[in-house]
């Protein structure tokens, strides 16, 4: 995927609606703008534009430390650290750290090496890992990667780990958040988040309406959902978990 002024989509980066939208915005910018100028032009926070400019390698001048990282500072760098940590210590972008790492022929950070090792293992065990909770996958592999990073790696290999939201896929989303929260013993805010995540759409009945109580379809749906919540759920993904081997 190519944008204006030679901006190209980072190799290996998965496409999402949010990333695609930000890429298009940066591809439309003139090259060489600094972060403050980008922030003002896009009307976004400095922190946000820094994050996306760094991710897409937009060639912005780093005004904080431009030309001020002395050679001895680079010599003292612990290259086992992640690029993000080194960048934060030196006050430069991760892209700058990556460039220096490459120019010196230094291999990936310990974290990056761990990511690659986990990715290779996941790819080799792809069929066995479908439906297994991420925490259990990490325990099986014996790695200390975060669940967020592990989940991203698994999905990049088309592995679908157990999703906590899967229990909600069969919920009757015609019911208002208030009712689902009461039936399932959680908060309406949590239900709203799950609804958005599953793109379940808006409820069919307005919880604030005085006519909802006398609606027979609503009452039937309410009764069925209540019964569903009281029925013990079978343990999920046990066969998949049993199949995972170290």
Domain-embedded: residue 22: yes
* Average pLDDT rounded to a whole number, residues 155-182: 80
Q: Which of 90, 107, 124 corresponds to the end of one domain?
A: 107
Domain-embedded: residue 236: no
Domain-embedded: residue 6: yes
What band does 162 get if pLDDT is binned at 50, 70 and 90? low
Taking residue 166's Cβ as centre, other Cβ atoms within 10 Å add up to 13
Domain-embedded: residue 126: yes
In the predicted model, is pLDDT for residue 198 greater than 80?
A: no
Domain-embedded: residue 28: yes
In this structure, are 18 and 40 located in the same domain? yes
In this structure, are 145 and 169 located in the same domain? no
Which residue blocks in the chain are alpha helix, DSSP H? 17-27, 35-42, 46-55, 71-75, 83-90, 94-103, 110-124, 126-129, 134-141, 147-156, 177-184, 188-198, 216-230, 238-242
pLDDT of residue 136: 85
In this structure, are 1 and 40 located in the same domain? yes
- Structural domain tally of the chain? 4
pLDDT of residue 178: 92
In this structure, are 31 and 78 located in the same domain? no
Domain that holds residue 135: 110-162
Domain-embedded: residue 82: yes
Q: Identify which has the larger pLDDT, 4 or 133.
A: 133
Domain-embedded: residue 241: no
Domain-embedded: residue 12: yes
In the predicted model, is pLDDT for residue 234 greater than 70?
A: no
């Amino acid at each position: 995927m190519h944008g204006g002024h030679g901006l190209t989509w980072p190799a290996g980066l998965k496409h999402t609606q949010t990333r695609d939208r930000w890429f298009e915005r940066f591809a439309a910018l003139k090259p060489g703008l600094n972060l403050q100028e980008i922030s003002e032009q896009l009307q976004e926070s400095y922190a946000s534009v820094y994050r996306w400019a760094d991710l897409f390698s937009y060639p912005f001048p780093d005004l904080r430390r431009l030309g001020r990282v002395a050679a001895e500072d680079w010599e003292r760098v612990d290259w086992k650290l992640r690029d993000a940590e080194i960048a934060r210590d030196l006050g430069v972008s991760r892209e700058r750290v990556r460039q220096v790492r490459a120019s010196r022929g230094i291999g990936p950070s310990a974290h990056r090496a761990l990511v690659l090792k986990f990715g290779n293992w996941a790819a080799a065990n792809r069929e066995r890992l479908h439906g297994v909770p991420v925490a259990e996958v990490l325990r099986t592999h014996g790695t200390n990667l975060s669940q967020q990073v592990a989940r991203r790696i698994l999905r990049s290999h088309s592995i679908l780990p157990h999703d906590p939201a899967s229990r909600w896929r069969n919920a009757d989303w015609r019911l208002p958040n208030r009712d689902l929260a009461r039936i399932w013993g959680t908060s309406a805010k949590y239900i709203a988040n799950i609804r958005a995540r599953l793109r379940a759409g808006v409820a069919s009945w307005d919880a604030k309406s005085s006519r909802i109580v006398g609606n027979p379809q609503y009452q039937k749906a309410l009764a069925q959902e209540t019964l569903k919540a009281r029925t013990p759920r079978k343990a999920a993904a046990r066969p998949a978990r049993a199949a995972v081997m170290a």
